[in-house]
Chain A
Amino acid sequence: MEILMNTTIFVPGLSHFLVVSALLFSLGVMAVLSRRNVIMVLMGVELILNSANINLIAFSRFTELSLDGQMIGLFVIIIAAAEAAVALAIILNVYNRFNTINLDEINLLKG
Chain B
Amino acid sequence: MFIELPLIILLLPLLAFVLMIFFGNKLPRQGDWLATGMMTITLLLSIVLLITKVGFYSSETITSNFDWVVVGSKSIGFGIMIDNLAAIMLVVVTLVSTLVHLFSMGYMKGDVRYSRYFAYLGLFSFSMLGIVLTNNILLMYVFWELVGISSYLLIGHWYEKKSASNAANKAFIVNRVGDFGMFIGILILFISFSSFTFEAIFESINAGQLPFGSEGWLTAAGILIFCGAVGKSAQFPLHVWLPDAMEGPTPVSALIHAATMVAAGVYLVARIFPMLTADALLVIAYIGAITALIAATIAITQFDIKKVLAYSTISQLGYMIMALGVGAYTAGFMHLVTHAAFKAGLFLGAGSVIFAMHASLHKLHDHSTDAQDIRNMGGLKSKMPITYWTFLIFTLAISGIPLTSGFLSKDEILAGTLAFSTLYGHWLLPLIGFVVAGLTAFYMFRLLILTFHGKPVSEKIQNGVSESPKVMTIPLMILAALSLFFFYSFNPFGAASGWFYTAVERPLSVVPELLQPATYALFYEAVSSVHSTAMILSILIAAAGVLMAVAVYQWKKISADDLAKRAGFLYKGSVNKWYFDEVYNIVFVSGSHVVMRALRWFDETIIDGIVNGAATVTKVFASVSGWIDTNIVDGLVNGTASTANRAGGLLSHIQTGKVQTYLLFVLFSFLVLFVLIL
> Taking beta carbons and an 8 Å cutoff, which residues of A are in contact with B?
29, 32-34, 41, 103-104, 106-111
> Do residues B653 and A111 form an inter-chain contact, with CB atoms below 8 A?
yes
Question: Given the complex of chains A and B, what is the CA–CA distance between A32 and B657 in angstroms?
Answer: 16
Shortest Cβ distance from A110 into B: residue: B657
Shortest Cβ distance from B662 into A: residue: A109
Q: How far is the CB of B435 from chain A (nearest CB, A)?
A: 118
Question: Given the complex of chains A and B, what is the CA–CA distance between A29 and B671 in angstroms?
Answer: 13
> Taking beta carbons and an 8 Å cutoff, which residues of B are in contact with A?
651-660, 663-664, 667
Question: Chain B residues near A107 (CB, 8 Å)?
Answer: 656-658
> Do residues A33 and B658 form an inter-chain contact, with CB atoms below 8 A?
no
> Do residues A103 and B652 form an inter-chain contact, with CB atoms below 8 A?
no
> Do residues B663 and A110 form an inter-chain contact, with CB atoms below 8 A?
no
Question: Chain A residues near B654 (CB, 8 Å)?
Answer: 111
> Do residues A33 and B656 form an inter-chain contact, with CB atoms below 8 A?
no
> Do residues A110 and B659 form an inter-chain contact, with CB atoms below 8 A?
no
> Do residues A110 and B660 form an inter-chain contact, with CB atoms below 8 A?
no
Question: Chain B residues near A33 (CB, 8 Å)?
Answer: 660, 663-664, 667
Question: Chain A residues near B656 (CB, 8 Å)?
Answer: 107, 110-111
> Do residues B663 and A111 form an inter-chain contact, with CB atoms below 8 A?
no
Shortest Cβ distance from A109 into B: residue: B657
Question: Chain A residues near B652 (CB, 8 Å)?
Answer: 111
Question: Chain B residues near A104 (CB, 8 Å)?
Answer: 658
> Do residues A32 and B663 form an inter-chain contact, with CB atoms below 8 A?
yes
Find B655's partner among A34, A41, A106, A111 (CB 8 Å cutoff): A111
Would you give 21 A-B contacts (Cβ < 8 Å), ordered by A?
Answer: A29-B667, A32-B663, A33-B660, A33-B663, A33-B667, A103-B658, A103-B660, A104-B658, A106-B657, A107-B657, A107-B658, A108-B657, A109-B655, A109-B657, A110-B655, A110-B658, A111-B651, A111-B652, A111-B653, A111-B654, A111-B656
Question: Given the complex of chains A and B, what is the CA–CA distance between A104 and B659 in angstroms?
Answer: 9
Question: Given the complex of chains A and B, what is the CA–CA distance between A104 and B657 in angstroms?
Answer: 9
Contacts between chains A and B (CB distance < 8 A), count: 32
Question: Chain B residues near A32 (CB, 8 Å)?
Answer: 660, 663
Question: Chain A residues near B659 (CB, 8 Å)?
Answer: 103, 106
Question: Chain B residues near A106 (CB, 8 Å)?
Answer: 657, 659
Most buried by A among B655, B660, B667: B660
Question: Given the complex of chains A and B, what is the CA–CA distance between A16 and B655 in angstroms?
Answer: 40
Question: Chain A residues near B655 (CB, 8 Å)?
Answer: 109-111
Q: How far is the CB of B664 from chain A (nearest CB, A)?
A: 6
Question: Chain B residues near A41 (CB, 8 Å)?
Answer: 660
Question: Chain A residues near B651 (CB, 8 Å)?
Answer: 111
Question: Given the complex of chains A and B, what is the CA–CA distance between A105 and B158 in angstroms?
Answer: 98
Q: How far is the CB of A98 from chain B (nearest CB, A)?
A: 12
Question: Chain A residues near B664 (CB, 8 Å)?
Answer: 33
Q: How far is the CB of A42 from chain B (nearest CB, A)?
A: 12
Question: Given the complex of chains A and B, what is the CA–CA distance between A109 and B662 in angstroms?
Answer: 11
Q: How far is the CB of A111 from chain B (nearest CB, A)?
A: 3
What 19 new A-B contacts, CB under 8 Å, besides A103-B660, A111-B654, A111-B656?
A29-B667, A33-B660, A33-B663, A33-B664, A33-B667, A34-B660, A41-B660, A103-B658, A104-B658, A106-B659, A107-B656, A107-B657, A107-B658, A110-B655, A110-B656, A110-B657, A110-B658, A111-B652, A111-B655
* Among all A-B residue pairs, the 10 with the closest Cβ atoms: A111-B652, A111-B655, A107-B657, A110-B657, A109-B657, A33-B660, A107-B658, A110-B656, A33-B664, A108-B657
Shortest Cβ distance from A35 into B: residue: B660
Most buried by A among B652, B655, B656, B659: B659
Question: Given the complex of chains A and B, what is the CA–CA distance between A103 and B662 in angstroms?
Answer: 12
Shortest Cβ distance from A36 into B: residue: B660
Question: Given the complex of chains A and B, what is the CA–CA distance between A110 and B659 in angstroms?
Answer: 10
Most buried by B among A29, A33, A111: A111
Question: Given the complex of chains A and B, what is the CA–CA distance between A109 and B660 in angstroms?
Answer: 13
Shortest Cβ distance from B655 into A: residue: A111
Question: Given the complex of chains A and B, what is the CA–CA distance between A108 and B656 in angstroms?
Answer: 9
Shortest Cβ distance from B650 into A: residue: A111
Question: Chain B residues near A110 (CB, 8 Å)?
Answer: 655-658
Question: Chain A residues near B660 (CB, 8 Å)?
Answer: 32-34, 41, 103
Q: How far is the CB of B670 from chain A (nearest CB, A)?
A: 11
Question: Given the complex of chains A and B, what is the CA–CA distance between A106 and B660 in angstroms?
Answer: 11
Question: Chain A residues near B667 (CB, 8 Å)?
Answer: 29, 33
Question: Chain A residues near B658 (CB, 8 Å)?
Answer: 103-104, 107, 110
Question: Given the complex of chains A and B, what is the CA–CA distance between A92 and B217 in angstroms?
Answer: 118
Q: How far is the CB of A81 from chain B (nearest CB, A)?
A: 22
Question: Given the complex of chains A and B, what is the CA–CA distance between A37 and B667 in angstroms?
Answer: 20
Question: Given the complex of chains A and B, what is the CA–CA distance between A6 and B595 in angstroms?
Answer: 138
Q: How far is the CB of A62 from chain B (nearest CB, A)?
A: 23
Question: Given the complex of chains A and B, what is the CA–CA distance between A110 and B662 in angstroms?
Answer: 11
Shortest Cβ distance from A107 into B: residue: B657
Question: Chain B residues near A103 (CB, 8 Å)?
Answer: 658-660
Shortest Cβ distance from B667 into A: residue: A29
Q: How far is the CB of B453 from chain A (nearest CB, A)?
A: 121
Question: Given the complex of chains A and B, what is the CA–CA distance between A48 and B658 in angstroms?
Answer: 20
Question: Chain A residues near B663 (CB, 8 Å)?
Answer: 32-33
Question: Given the complex of chains A and B, what is the CA–CA distance between A33 and B29 in angstroms?
Answer: 115
Shortest Cβ distance from A38 into B: residue: B659
Question: Chain A residues near B653 (CB, 8 Å)?
Answer: 111
Question: Given the complex of chains A and B, what is the CA–CA distance between A34 and B663 in angstroms?
Answer: 11
Q: How far is the CB of A100 from chain B (nearest CB, A)?
A: 14
Shortest Cβ distance from B660 into A: residue: A33
Question: Given the complex of chains A and B, what is the CA–CA distance between A111 and B653 in angstroms?
Answer: 6
Question: Given the complex of chains A and B, what is the CA–CA distance between A108 and B659 in angstroms?
Answer: 11
